[in-house]
Amino acid sequence: MARNFRTPLKNVRYLGSAKEGADHFILQRLTGMSNAVLAVFLVWLVASIAGANHASAKALVANPFVAMGLLLLILSGTIHMRLGMQTIIEDYVHNEGPKLAALALNTFFAILVALACVFSVMKLSFGA
């Protein structure tokens, strides 16, 4: 691939604004705020369950408030981490093909983790 030393600014000048990007920044900050609160909740939860038997651990997670806290944490956390990893990929992976593949895998990973966690919490809450 030919080396291109034109600055990104040179390539995009006069093409108009991207009309997006601020939403990425804002959502990263918004989920960062909620994560800071929910991290305290996670630490409390893990510390409370550490070493507990299955029945009491299950009862705690099945509690509606604990379950909702976990669901909030999963939602907020996976959105935040997907945005963060997207920034890292865009910083370091410059070839279009590998970059698109990495960005797709990043989204798939975030959704997979979120779904596995949400399904487990729902099963613990609603399941017999």
Partner 1 sequence: MAQPNRAQPQRERPLSPHLQVYRPLINMVMSIFHRITGVALYVGTILLAWWLAALASGPTYFAYVSDLFGSLPGRIILLGYTWVLMHHMLGGLRHFVWDTGYGYDLATVDKLSWGSIIGSLGLTGIIWFLATR
Structure tokens at 74: 């999963």
Structure tokens at 59: 């009862």
Q: How far is the CB of 29 from partner 1 (least distance, A)?
A: 7
- Pick between residue 43 and residue 101 the one whose CB is nearest to partner 1: 43
Q: How far is the CB of 32 from partner 1 (least distance, A)?
A: 5
- Pick between residue 108 and residue 119 the one whose CB is nearest to partner 1: 119
Q: How far is the CB of 95 from partner 1 (least distance, A)?
A: 13
Q: Find the helix or strand (DSSP H, E) in which 41 lies.
A: helix 22-49
Residues that bind partner 1 (CB under 8 A): 2-6, 11-12, 15, 29, 32-33, 35-36, 39, 42-43, 46-47, 50-51, 53-55, 57-58, 61, 70, 74, 77-78, 81, 84-85, 88, 113, 116-117, 119-121, 123-124, 127
Query: What is the phi/psi pair of residue 63, to 5°?
Result: -60, 130
Residue type, 34: S
How far is residue 55's CA from residue 124's CA, in Å, rounded to a whole number?
11
- Pick between residue 33 and residue 101 the one whose CB is nearest to partner 1: 33
Q: How far is the CB of 84 from partner 1 (least distance, A)?
A: 5
How far is residue 36's CA from residue 52's CA, in Å, rounded to a whole number?
26
For the CA atoms of the chain, what is the radius of gyration? 20
